[in-house]
Structure formats: structure tokens, C-alpha cells
Structure 1
Amino acid sequence: MLQEIIEDEIRKLKPILSDYGVELERFLAKGTTSYVFLGTLGGKKVVVKYQRPDSPRKTLGREAKILEILQGKDITGDLVLYTKIERREVLVREYVEGELLINLTPRKEDILRIAEKAYALDTLGIDHGQIQGGKHIIIGKDVWIIDFEKASTQRRPKNLTSAMAMLFLSDNVISRRISKEYGITDEFRESLRLALREYKTSRNLKRVVEVLSTL
């Protein structure tokens, strides 16, 4: 049944996206509010999100606005296109290469880059809202944060504290892998907690980086 639906969606999308130079390649995933496809533009990979017909929530317009703020900031894939097809939202962004954080053990340099990019979001006044799950951080030659459908400029940003809690302070598959790989001690966790507490008031990344550098 899903296969038939996807084939029908591809038939709708292909001719319209081709007018923008985007060639639809294949289906990637069924999200909560959209179908996700892989495409190409000028020989480069892009991600295409197409609002599901059974989803009343229009979140891609909000994501497009966030991506406009992040354009050229080296935090996520740049926005390529936002439009509507028969009142359904379509968003196209650059494809970023790598593996989901939840599927691997990050290197020390990856952890520092996660901190830097989460901090960059904080300074821009954008709260991702789902950064703590590990399914929205991609690690490859660089670190990328993706999927800003639930992001907000109205909430107080807590990307750095959420990311560090996920990596070291909470009990989850990612923190357990990191604890085993780096021999994380209670002393390290307490130092990080203190640094994050200081960060909440000072918004100064220095102390957090100093703690992470001891890994």
C-alpha cells in the first residue's frame, strides 16, 4: 500500500520539481508529517520533503524560515527551494553526507564540533527542539544538524545543554557508548554539569570546551 502511495507521489512531484532543475531519484523515508526523497540538482544530492496528504500540520514553511536564517552558517544543509503543490508544502535542501549520531561513537573532534554548532544555534536564538535524540545530528567529514521542523525562535535556546546531556549526562545508547569509549568518570560528569550551569547564565562556551578537551 505504501509503495503505491509513494509511486503516486513521485509521479506528482517529478514534473514540477524538474521545472526547478531538481530531479527526483528515490524514496528515503516516511516522516511524521512528510515523505522524504533523495534528488539531485546540478549533479549534487538534495533532500526533498513533501507534506503528507494525511498530515494537517504544516511544518515545512517554518523549517524553511529557519533554514533561511542558517543559510551559509555551516550548521545544516542550505535551503534550495520552498513551494507548495496543491496546497501541500515542499521543501528542498542540500544533502549532507554522513551517519546518524545514534548509530556510531563520535570522535573527540566530533564531540567538540557538536558543541560548537549547538552553541552557534543558541547564539542565533534558534532552539532545535529535538537535538537530544541523536537522530538529528549527522557525522561525516563535518558535523551537521538537520530537520528543523520543530525548531523555534520563540523558545529560549538550549541546544548546547541538551546536546551535552544526551552525550554524557543522560542514560541512553549514545551516552553508554561514549562512556565506554572514553572511560567517562563521575568527576568528568560533575565538571561538565558545573560548566553547563555556568553557561546557562554566562552563555560563554569556554568552560564547556575546557571540560570536553580533557576527554
Structure 2
Amino acid sequence: MFDHLISEAQLGRFYSRLKSLGFEKIRPYAKGTTSLIFCARLDEKNVIIKLQRPDSPRQNFAREAEIIRAVEPFGITPPLVAYGVFEGLEYLVREFAEGEIIFHADLEKRHIFEIVEKTALLDRLGLDHGQIQGGKHVIVGERVWLIDFEKSGWRKPKNLTSAMAMVFLNDNHISRRVRKKFGVDRAFLGEMREEVRNYKRTGKLSGLLDLLSRL
């Protein structure tokens, strides 16, 4: 999977480093624009390992690790396991977010409330994830997790409004599926737009939560 992105020799050395730290069952998982992603086991837990791609000049994992540590106590994202540097390449390890990306998930009402809870909490912390609306970073399972804070920042946040646009207001695969499942009509969407505007003005969630309780 990574043959054209990292040499076999360097990959072998990286595996050896990980094994020396106690990681087992290491295998390629996916590749991103700036990272090579592996899954593994550590202390009976599944973990994700992100290694900076050798062809990427961006070094964001130290900053991402700091952000994960900051939000970790609030249960928004899986806990950070480790951060390090291997042959000049950053790597980050966190616990695996069990579930599937929201694009493929069958959303239940409780999931929608949890999305609201966690995105509103990020807003209150003053942290903007920056990639909520795309859906790839919202994992739905027994719990909802927000992952990959590489592009997040302590700036004016718009997490909840982005999430409601993705789940209800925009025309996309996720919103169409949710609207059909819950029988959402134009009147509901009109109320949703108004409640999102009210949230942006006041920061109050009560109207939005009341609306969602009618699903």
C-alpha cells in the first residue's frame, strides 16, 4: 500500500521501533495527504499510528498531539497514546475510534444528540476542528468520536453549525439519508435554520435540542 511513499528498509526500521515500544500486529491501514496510517495493538487495545509521509514537508503532529491532550478529558476524541519522531518524521498514536465514518453510518437519534453535544463543547472550548462538514472525521459507533485535529485551531469555532449543515441543511448523501429516515420536511428544516442562527447569536442550545427531540 505504501511502496511508492516509503522505502521497504525505512518501513522495516519503523516497525522495529514500534515493536520495541510494545506495539503488536502492526499493519498498513490507510494513507492521507500528509501521513501514512497504520493500525496495531498495544496493551490489549486497538490503536491508530499516523506517520508523517516522507514526501510531506508539513510537520503538524506535535501540535495535533497538544490539541488531543487538551480535549481528551471531555471524551470528544480517543485518547492520545504517544507522540514521537522517527528518522526526522513525526508520528502520533491514539486509541482506535471504533465505528464507521458518518458517511456510511446508520444514524440513530442518540447519535445526532451526541454530535450536537460534542461539537457544541468544542465551540465552548474555542477550538475549531476545521473539517467537520466533510464527514470523514466523524466516527459513529457505540459512541460518536471526532478525529484528526491536524487542521484544527484556537480560532472562532463553527463546529456545531458545520455539523448541522452536514446532517440536515446541505444537500448531500448524509442529509438525504437522515431526512428520509426521520421524515424531515421543509418546515423542520426551516426551524433548524432558525435555531442554528439563534445558536450563532446567543450560544444557547435549548431551542435546537427541543427541535431535535421531535425527530
With the length of structure 1 as denominator, give the TM-score of the two structures. Answer: 0.94
- The amino acid that maps onto 1:95 is F
CA deviation after TM superposition for structure 1 residue 21, in Å: 2.3
Written as runs of structure 1 = structure 2, the 5 A alignment for 1:123-134 is: 123-134=124-135
Written as runs of structure 1 = structure 2, the 5 A alignment for 1:183-194 is: 183-194=183-194
Distance 1:38 1:9, change over 3 A: farther
Tell me how many residue pairs correspond in the alignment: 214
Q: Look up the match of 2:23.
A: 22
Q: Look up the match of 1:166.
A: 166
5+ unaligned residues in a row in structure 2: which ranges? none
More divergent stretch after superposition (20-29 vs 136-145): 20-29
Once the two structures are superposed, residues 11-63 of structure 1 have per-residue CA deviations (whole angstroms, 9 ceiling, x without a partner) of 12122223332235210001010000001110111100000000011121221
Written as runs of structure 1 = structure 2, the 5 A alignment for 1:66-77 is: 66-77=67-78
SS in 2 for 1:104: coil
- Measure, in 1, the Cα distance between the counterparts of 2:51 and 2:151: 16
- The amino acid that maps onto 1:135 is K
- The amino acid that maps onto 1:55 is S
Q: Look up the match of 1:61.
A: 62
- Measure, in 2, the Cα distance between the counterparts of 1:100 and 1:193: 25
- The amino acid that maps onto 1:126 is L
5+ unaligned residues in a row in structure 1: which ranges? none
With the length of structure 2 as denominator, give the TM-score of the two structures. Answer: 0.94
CA deviation after TM superposition for structure 1 residue 2, in Å: 3.5
- The amino acid that maps onto 2:81 is V
- Measure, in 1, the Cα distance between the counterparts of 2:7 and 2:149: 23
Q: Look up the match of 2:142.
A: 141
Q: Look up the match of 1:204.
A: 204
- Measure, in 2, the Cα distance between the counterparts of 1:9 and 1:72: 35
- Measure, in 1, the Cα distance between the counterparts of 2:7 and 2:176: 37
Distance 1:7 1:28, change over 3 A: farther
Q: Look up the match of 1:102.
A: 103
| Percent of matched pairs sharing the same residue | 47
Q: Look up the match of 1:115.
A: 116
- Measure, in 1, the Cα distance between the counterparts of 2:21 and 2:127: 29
SS in 2 for 1:103: coil
